[in-house]
Chains A and B, each alone.
Chain A
Amino acid sequence: MTLLKASKVSIIFGGLKAVSNFDIEIEEGELIGLIGPNGAGKTTVFNLLTGVYEPTDGKIEFDGKSIVKHKPYQITQRGIARTFQNIRLFSDLTVIDNVKIAYHFHVKYNLFEAVSRLGRFHNEEAEIEKKALRLLEVFNLADKRDEVAKNLPYGEQRRLEIARALATQPKLLLLDEPAAGMNPQETQKLMEMIRWIRKEFKLTVLLIEHDMSLVMGVCERIIVLDYGSVIARGTPAEIRENPKVIEAYLGEEVPGC
């Protein structure tokens, strides 16, 4: 079943066509990579899919319903969660609170129950605490539950951000350069983790990455973006051989050199 379908999506900033005629179809359970040189419009695509930007043109459907003109929080509630290229944790809060916040829109108790501590409050809070802890355990962060997020090492902050995104219980997870700033070993571990969470949480994953080894190693399909347009799509092997992709990354071959 098609989970996400975008057709002919474009966005114009002033005179700049940042993304033009972007098409994508993601089937449930797929793991797709979105690559491209710097400034190709990858993050802009993420921002379009998550409602940060409204497309100038085109359609985006998630789970069979249009999500254009929806606010980012509504799109998250529909089941798309994301991480950010530059980590955006709630940096002064504890690790566990970061995750608890992500459960917010699943909470059923109302304001009155919260203030009076009656009704569903205690049960649901206990439930959230339990779920958040379980998630932290999965990501090997349980022993740091009371640590302030900004004091975590970089790699752990990235993991926490993914854990937090998963706490919203999404169907589609968008990862924006999850391996940025990681060394090869950490990247390797991250690859395994992405594969594992996809299986464990029955997720569909779309990821942006610069690190070719990660993309080639983990993704089943790859979409290459350059100057806002899709220049190639296919399996990792096909992409590696594609002359257009090589050109976009390394430049044109100059005859006589």
Chain B
Amino acid sequence: MKERTKRDIIFVGISVLLYAVIEALILYRVIPPYFERGIVTVCINVILAASLNLINGITGQFSIGHAGFMAVGGYVSAILTVKLGMSFSVAIIAGAAAAGVLGVLIGLPTLRLNGDYLAIATLGLGEIIRIVILNISYVGGAAGLNGVPKDTNFTWVFGMMIFTLLFIRNLVESSHGRACIAIRENEIAAEAMGINTTRYKVLAFTIGATFAGVAGALFVHYTYVASPSSFTFMKSIDILTMVVLGGLGSMTGSVVGAVVLTLLTFFLADYPQIRGVIYSLLLIVLMLYRPQGLFGNKEFSLKMLSRLTGGGRRDVA
């Protein structure tokens, strides 16, 4: 247990250091404002990827409607700040709660499905959420909800990102997380071990949806507008790509996947002609040579590093 606490302290320590460095660079304008935008997007995407990884990678329920939950979080929080004049922190909590409640409502019926069927159902539900929003004139319909205050800054996104990562990591490393992993590994055996599989599937789905709601709230309050076009099916696919690229079931994988793909998109934005080509090629090459994703379902550790550099003791297979 000492080891666990030590790791937590190291993680928080590194996070604080990283935060201080980046925040200082932003304050002293070493990092230009347009690049700050990239960093904020990275953090939001890490939250999205990590939360989708809890559903798809850890619990093994293939969901592709994450943008829908993000939309709910975004819109609910925007309504609170724009229409009701509430504070940003209240708006985030409300957005997250709304997405979570929707997660339960959607999860209960759809999680009876498996594999492809669940994927299709969640895809459909993601679209339904978007189209319902599109047709509500109270929130501006297709034009979106304008005049959202820009409350999100680097401090907020970084803080929420670390909170998300700690939350999900701690969950995964507990008995509740092991129950989720057991469902992924073998649902019949999990049930035979006394695990209420429906309960844990819905739990993972709900927590994933809640954090997608947080990401949505942060996103909307950074871009001044909550617009249905930000939460399309393609957004869901983008998040899924990050999770798969990093490795389904690996939290560090999700982080790396989100960072790599977001920065890639960000830097390639200047070259719209070849952007699609490079992005796709990268994915094809990666899937050919590392179909399990960058990290497989393992977590980054010092042991892994020493094995990579050849300095570590080789395990007998």
Contact = CB atoms under 8 A, between A and B. Distances in A.
A114 B174 contact: yes
B117 interface: no
Contact of B179 (A91, A104, A115, A125): A104
B192 A126 contact: no
A81 interface: yes
Given A90-B185, A115-B171, A117-B8, A105 B194 contact: yes
Contacts of B177: 114
Interface residues of B, number: 30
Given A115-B167, A115-B171, A71 B188 contact: no
B167 A91 contact: no
Contact of A104 (B171, B178, B203, B297): B178
A101 B171 CA distance: 14
B175 A100 contact: yes
A215 interface: no
A149 to B, nearest CB: 9
Interface string A86-114: 00111111000100111111010101001
Contacts of A73: 191-197
A88 B189 CA distance: 6
A155 interface: no
Contacts, number: 100
B181 A93 contact: yes
A76 interface: yes
Contacts of B196: 71, 73
A122 to B, nearest CB: 5
A72 interface: yes
Main secondary structure of the interface of B (DSSP, over half): helix
B283 interface: no
B194 A104 contact: yes
Nearest to B198: A71
Interface in B174-226: 174-179, 181-182, 185-186, 188-197, 203
Contact of B176 (A82, A92, A111, A117): A111
B135 interface: no
Given A100-B178, A101-B179, A90 B186 contact: yes
A125 B1 contact: yes
B175 A128 contact: yes
A107 B181 CA distance: 16
Interface string A64-90: 000000011100110001101000111
Nearest to A126: B1
Interface string B82-109: 0000000000000000000000000000
Contacts of A109: 174-175
Given A114-B171, A115-B171, A125-B174, A72 B191 contact: yes
Interface string A123-140: 011101000000000000
B209 to A, nearest CB: 15
B170 interface: yes
B175 A103 contact: yes
Given A91-B185, A103-B175, A125-B1, A50 B192 contact: yes
Contact of B171 (A93, A111, A122): A111
A116 interface: yes
Given A88-B188, A101-B182, A103-B175, A115 B170 contact: yes
A164 interface: yes
A120 B55 CA distance: 26
Interface string A190-229: 0000000000000000000000000000000000000000
A168 B194 contact: yes
A122 B174 CA distance: 10
A121 interface: yes
Contacts of B4: 117, 122
B185 A93 contact: yes
A151 B317 CA distance: 8
B176 A89 contact: no
What 6 A-B pairs are tightest by C-beta distance, nearest first? A114-B174, A76-B194, A90-B185, A105-B194, A88-B189, A107-B175
14 contacts: A71-B196, A73-B197, A76-B193, A82-B192, A88-B188, A88-B189, A93-B185, A104-B193, A104-B194, A105-B195, A109-B174, A111-B203, A114-B176, A124-B175
Given A52-B188, A97-B178, A125-B1, 17 more contacts: A76-B192, A89-B189, A90-B182, A91-B186, A93-B185, A101-B195, A104-B178, A104-B182, A104-B193, A104-B194, A104-B195, A105-B194, A114-B176, A121-B174, A128-B175, A164-B193, A168-B194
